[in-house]
A and B are shown apart, each in its own frame.
Chain A
Amino acid sequence: MTDPGSQAELVRRSLKRRYGKERRFRLYGIAAVSVALFSLAVLFTDIVSKGYTGFIKTTVTLDVHLDGELMYLNDASDPEQMAMADFQAPIIKALQEYFPNATSRADKRELSRMTGSYASNQVRDLLKENPDWLGSTRTIEFPAHDTVSVYVKHAGDPGYSIRLTEQQQRWTDELLSKGVIDTGFNDVFFTSGDSREPSNAGILGALVGSLLTMAITLVIAFPVGVAAAVYLEEFAPGNRLTDFIEVNINNLAAVPSIIFGLLGLAVFIGLFGMPRSVPVVGGLVLALMTLPTIIISSRAAIKSVPPSIREAAQGIGASKMQVVLHHVLPLAMPGMLTGSIIGMAQALGETAPLLLIGMVAFIVEIPDGFFSSATVLPVQIFIWAGSAEQGFVELASAGIMVLLAFLITMNAFAIWLRKRLERRW
C-alpha cells in the first residue's frame, strides 16, 4: 500500500514526463510539415522563376515592303513561283532600314537571325492568302529569334547573351529602344502545338493530347474499377480464387509503370494492330495502370459503409443488387471518387509507359480526335527539357506550371464533387 501523498507526487512526476513527450511529438510533426512546406516552396520558386519568362514572347514588328523583284516573284497566286521565291530578302531589307551599314554577306546572315527561323514562312503564308499584297508595304509582327528573345528577357545576364554576336546585341538594344522589338503575353504558347523554334512552340497540342488520353483512361478505368471492387466486395465467394485475385491486384499496383508501356506495345499495338502515338492506346495503357489504385480505394470505400445500412435495406426486402445500387454505392461514391482522382492524377503525370507506345514523337498539329497522333503534357515537358535551345528550357518550366494547374483543377473538382456527394450517417 502506497502513501497517498507520495503517489500523487509520482503521478505529478510522470505527468511532467508525459507532457514532455507530447511536446516533443508535436515538435516532430511541425518539423516534418515545415520540411515538406519548405521543399514545396523551393520547388515552386524555382519553377516559377525559371518558367515565368515562358509566358512572355518577344516580337519584332517591321514595315516590310513586299517587293516582287527582291523576292523573284511577279505572281503570288502561282504556286510554282511561290515555291522558288525568297521571302527572307524583304525582312532583311526592312531591318536594313535601321542599320544601313549592314550590307556584307555576314551582316545579312546575322540580320536574318534577328527574327525567328519561320519568319520567311510567315511572309509566304500571308502572300498566299493575299496575293494582291505583292508590291505593297505591310506592318508585320514576327516572333524574335530564340537567341534574341532570351537576351531581351534576361537583359544584363551574360549567361543568356553568349549566343548573340556583339553586333547583334547592339542591334537588339537599338531596336528595343526604338520599340521595334517588344515583349508581350505569349499567346502563341497557349494556341499552338510543338515546333522546332521555341518562339513558335506551344503547349496546346500536348494539353489536348492529355485531355483526350485522360478521357479514355477515365471512361475505361472508373467503371471497370468500380465494378470489379463491387463484385469482389459484395458478390465474390470467399474462396482461394478470390484471395488469389486480391493478392494480384495489390501486386499490380506496385508494378513499375514502364511495364504497362511494354504491355501496351505488345498487346494493343503488336497484337491488335492499333496505331502508334494515339490517345486511345495511351488512354488504355494508363487505364490498366490506374485500375489497381481505383479497385483498392473503391473496395476500402465500400468496406467503410456501415453494415447497419445494408441490414436495414435487406430487412425491408431489398435484393442484393438493390442494396448495392441504392445504398452502398451512393455512400461509397465519395471515397471511390477520391481514389479515382488520385489514380488519374498519377496517370496524368506518367511519362514512361507513353514513351514506349510512341507518344514521344514530334507532333506539330493539335490532335483532333482519339485516333490522331498526339503527345501529352509530361512527355512534352520531357522533350523540351532535353532540347538545346535556351528558349525550350523556359518553355519546359512554363509547361510544368500548366501541368500543375491542370492537376490542381482536377483535384479541386474532385474535392468539390466529394463535398457535394458526402452524406453523414
Chain B
Amino acid sequence: MPEADLIKAPIERPADTVIEEGKTVGVPFSDDPKFQLRNVEVFYGETRAIKNISLDIARNEVIAFIGPSGCGKSTFLRCLNRMNDSIENCRIKGSLLLDGQDIYDPKRDVVELRARVGMVFQKPNPFPKSIYDNVAYGPRIHGLANRKSDLDDIVENSLRKAGLWNEVKDRLDAMATGMSGGQQQRLCIARAIAVSPEVVLMDEPCSALDPIATARIEELIAELSESYTIVIVTHSMQQAARVSNRTAYFHLGHLVEVNDTSKVFTMPEHELTESYITGRFG
C-alpha cells in the first residue's frame, strides 16, 4: 500500500465559520428554570475558557452538554455546584442563579449548595470504605438521619433507585473498591442521590464503562429524570440522543446551539452543530 494513503486526509474544518460571542441559536431559555445562567465567563488565569454563555436549565429536565474535547462543557458543568472553587486562579464572572438565588454569593455556603446539587464524576470514585459507608457518608455529614434505622432506609432506597440493591444487599459491608466499574459508578450515583439533591450533575459518567454497564446507567438516568433535574456531559452523541430532553452544543468556550434533543440531531440550525453531529470533526 502506498504510504501516502496511510496519512488521513486533513479534517475538513469549517474554519470560515465565525461564532458570534454570546449568541446562541435555538431555545436557550425556559419558563420554569431551575438554573438561570447569564453572561457566564470562566477564566483560568489569563485564558478565557467559557465565553459569555447564557442558558436556562429547566426543572426536571435532562439536558445534555455535547461538543468536542476542550470546548468547556465540563468547566461549565462544574460551575453549577462550584466544584471549580478548589482550582487555583480560576475566576467566574456573570450571574448564576439556582431557584433565583446567586450560586456565587460570597455569603452562600457551598456545603448547602452541593447538598442540593450532587455530582457524579467521569471515573467511578467510591471511597475506599464499605458499600454501606459510601452511601451513608452524605446523610451522615449532613445529619439527615438521627437513627440507625433511618440511615438504613436511606441507604436501601438510594441503592434501589440506583438499581444496585439486589446485587449488593448481601454484602453491604464489602469494600466498594472491589466492585466492577459499572457497579462502582452506580454506587456513586446512589451516593449522590442519598442526600436527596434537587439536581444531579454527571460529568461523562459512562466514559470508563463497557456498553452493558453504560446501558444500565442510561436506564437509570431515565428513571431518575422523573424526580431530579439532570445535567449530563457526554462524548457520545447517541447517549445524548437517548437520555436527554434538550441538548446544548459547546464549541471553543461558546454555547453555539441549544434545542430539543430531537431537533438538534435531526435539524441542527447552526452549521458547526451540523458538522459535529455528522462527524466531520470532534
Contact = CB atoms under 8 A, between A and B. Distances in A.
Contact of B195 (A308, A311, A317, A319): A317
A308 B120 CA distance: 11
A350 to B, nearest CB: 36
A425 B177 contact: yes
Interface in A84-140: none
Contact of B83 (A311, A331, A423, A425): A311
Contact of B123 (A308, A314, A331): A308
Interface centre among B112, B138, B141, B192 (most CB of A within 10 A): B141
A424 B114 CA distance: 27
A329 to B, nearest CB: 13
B191 interface: yes
Nearest to B120: A315
B119 A315 contact: yes
A424 B83 CA distance: 25
B81 interface: yes
Contacts, number: 66
Interface in B114-138: 114-115, 118-121, 123, 125-128, 137-138
Interface in B65-87: 81, 83, 86
Interface in A393-425: 423-425
B138 A316 contact: yes
A309 B195 contact: no
Contacts of B111: 317-319
B125 A312 contact: yes
A322 B114 CA distance: 14
Interface residues of B, number: 28
Nearest to B113: A317
Interface in B138-187: 138, 141-142, 177
B116 to A, nearest CB: 8
A317 B141 CA distance: 8
A313 interface: yes
A65 interface: no
A238 interface: yes
Given A308-B123, A311-B83, A327-B127, A316 B137 contact: yes
B177 A312 contact: no
Name the prevailing secondary structure of the B interface residues.
helix
Nearest to A422: B128
A325 to B, nearest CB: 10
A425 B126 CA distance: 8
A425 B192 contact: no
Contact of B127 (A238, A312, A319, A322): A312
B155 to A, nearest CB: 14
Contact of B114 (A308, A317, A327): A317
A411 B16 CA distance: 67
Nearest to A311: B121
Interface in A296-345: 306, 308-319, 322, 326-327, 331
A316 B191 contact: yes
B199 to A, nearest CB: 12
Given A315-B114, A319-B111, A309 B127 contact: yes
Nearest to B194: A316
A322 B115 CA distance: 14
A239 to B, nearest CB: 10
Contact of B121 (A312, A317, A318): A312
B112 A317 contact: yes
Given A309-B125, A316-B141, A317-B115, 13 more contacts: A308-B121, A310-B86, A312-B188, A314-B114, A315-B114, A315-B192, A316-B114, A316-B118, A316-B138, A316-B191, A316-B195, A317-B111, A425-B127
5 residue pairs, one from A and one from B, having the closest CB atoms:
A317-B114, A315-B119, A308-B125, A317-B115, A316-B138
